[in-house]
Chains A and B, each alone.
Chain A
Amino acid sequence: MTEVRAFFRRHGVSIIVLGVMAAIWQILSLLYTTEAVPGEPMIPGWQVVFTRTLISLSDYWQGGLGVPSVAEGAPPSYTAALLAIVSNSLDTMVRLYLGLLIGGLVGTFLGLAVSWSKWSRRTVELPLQFIRTLPLLAMVPLFQLWFGIYFAGKVAFVAYGVGVIFFAGVVNAVKNVPQVYIDNARTQGANRVQLYLTIILPSIFPELRATILLSLGTAWGAVLGAEYLGAQSGLGYIIVYSEAFAYLDRMFVVALLFVFYASISYAIFNRLSLKLLQWMPRVGRVIVVG
């Protein structure tokens, strides 16, 4: 009971504000009843979202597990709708986290590699800056042409977006490692490899926290972008399909799911990284936003 009370004391205002936002949405839906197409309100109220919309999501269930799909002639049901949400969310998340993993590893590795000498770092800095300004989402069509519209294309796109951020983040973080640390290890006879393992890697992690948070946000955007243009499943696919028919209520449900998943992934990462950084003095743990 005390834990519940503590939770509410800490997050009480946020919960109330979210409740008020939900109420304002409802009021807007009552005041502004224009319809995008007949039967599809511009602002779907909660009474629509939790009944008609939720059940209509069973359109996206592809059958199996003893629950027939709507395409096979079965009537829409809450079971199928729930399965549709779970299976499409899983599809999106597999693409997201696989891309994140590959991009993170490749980006970190390349970043460490060019940081090996001052000359290689100076060589990549300017071209990297230009590559970073190329708008990621506008490159979706290119990745489709290169890697196809199936699984590989989406993962490659997320990995590219995440990889560029990690690459830049690692290069910058290594540059900011205090020279004192390096000199000190050098005078004690550490070689390059030892230097990387014992000094560079642990000291860049705090700065990489901001990079990882940024790449999480980018990854969510990228996976959606990849699904936007040619996918047969996933949350992005549902949004595209819904937009074509102006099903604003379905888009709204998926948007809510997105905010929910993204917030959870941020929260998990925050907890995890704070735990990993417990050895640091407080100063180094400041969260960097932006």
Chain B
Amino acid sequence: MGRKSRRRGILRIDPVGIFGVFLLIMIWQALTLALPPSSLPTPSSVVARIGRDFIRAEELSFYGLADTGLLNSMIYTATNVMIAVALGSLVGTIAGFVTARFHNVRAILDPIVMTMGTIPILVLAPFFLIWFGVERMSAVLLVVLYVAVILYIFAQRAADNLDPVYEEYAYTLGASSKRIVWDILIPGTVPQVLGGIRIALAGAWGLEAIAELLGAQYGIGKIIQVLAGATDVQGIFAALIVLGLVAVISDGLAALVFAHVAAWSAAARPGGN
């Protein structure tokens, strides 16, 4: 199978699924007949609203958010997500690898990470907002934390599952620890770690949005918070749909890039396991 056809395979969209999306929009449209527009706006009005607010949203300036639109806010949110996913993945993966090979470190880190993982973001967010302020820092740190927990689990499991035969063989050939990390541990776990990054990325959009909703100056979450205060359902729908679309597109891009990076691995191929 050539690279080109494989790449197309990743982004294959089921035509029946398109019909499903169409059906969903029809159901939505049907529901608007029964409900007042103040509680459920029509699909077309939401699309029109997205177009109107894309560059600059008039309504938002009434609520103290001057000179901003969906595009601007989305860029702010996306930047935060990218920084957080990059940072969190790095920290989580390194910690996962270290704990998979050093059992003393694992005994210490495992309970800490698992406790962290069970705290809902909403419990943690207020602390971060008070400790680190309502700037970019709080939201990014929150997302970094959750991404790191996911990658910690994925990297640790990937390194655990790596057949010890590879490393033992390399040792008998006289490889140094450094060589083993670079030539065996990292290549051997890339597919699983990339899979973890994809899951973390998908979750990060929601976490970033909620962090902004609770206290931020900019971002799509801030827009939702302001519009919720004004019970502007149409605006909330518009913001949510833009956020959802960006999340879907970013996931597709990640799938594409990761399949390219790990093209040699059977596990990264669509349909592979």
Contacts and interface: CB of A to CB of B under 8 A. Distances in A.
Asked if A pairs with B, the answer is yes
Interface of A: 13-14, 17-18, 21, 36, 42, 119, 122-127, 129-130, 133-142, 144-146, 217, 220-221, 224-225, 228-229, 236, 239, 242-243, 246, 248, 251-252, 254-255, 258-259, 262-263, 266, 289-290
A133 B126 contact: no
A125 B251 CA distance: 16
A258 B127 CA distance: 14
Contacts, number: 146
Interface residues of B, number: 58
A152 to B, nearest CB: 15
9 contacts: A17-B112, A18-B115, A133-B251, A137-B122, A137-B206, A225-B210, A228-B214, A254-B123, A289-B157
Nearest to B108: A17
Contacts of A255: 119, 123-124, 127
Interface of B: 13-14, 16-21, 23-24, 39, 107-108, 110-112, 115, 118-124, 126-127, 129-131, 150, 153-154, 157, 196, 199, 202, 205-207, 209-210, 213-214, 221, 224-225, 227-228, 231, 233, 236-237, 240, 243-244, 247-248, 251
B122 A126 contact: no
Contact of B121 (A134, A139, A221, A243): A221
Given A228-B214, A242-B126, A290-B199, 14 more contacts: A14-B111, A17-B112, A21-B115, A123-B20, A133-B205, A134-B240, A136-B206, A137-B209, A141-B227, A239-B122, A248-B127, A255-B124, A259-B118, A290-B154
A139 B240 contact: yes
A42 B130 contact: yes
A18 B227 CA distance: 42
B153 A262 contact: no
Given A123-B23, A135-B205, A217-B118, A246 B240 contact: no
Contact of B119 (A119, A124, A246, A259): A259
A125 B236 contact: no
Contact of A135 (B18, B110, B122, B210): B210
Given A127-B20, A145-B233, A266-B118, A258 B228 contact: no
A146 B40 CA distance: 9
B14 A225 contact: no
Nearest to B106: A13
Nearest to A36: B130
A263 B118 contact: yes
A126 B13 contact: yes
A221 B150 CA distance: 17
B260 to A, nearest CB: 22
A17 B206 CA distance: 31
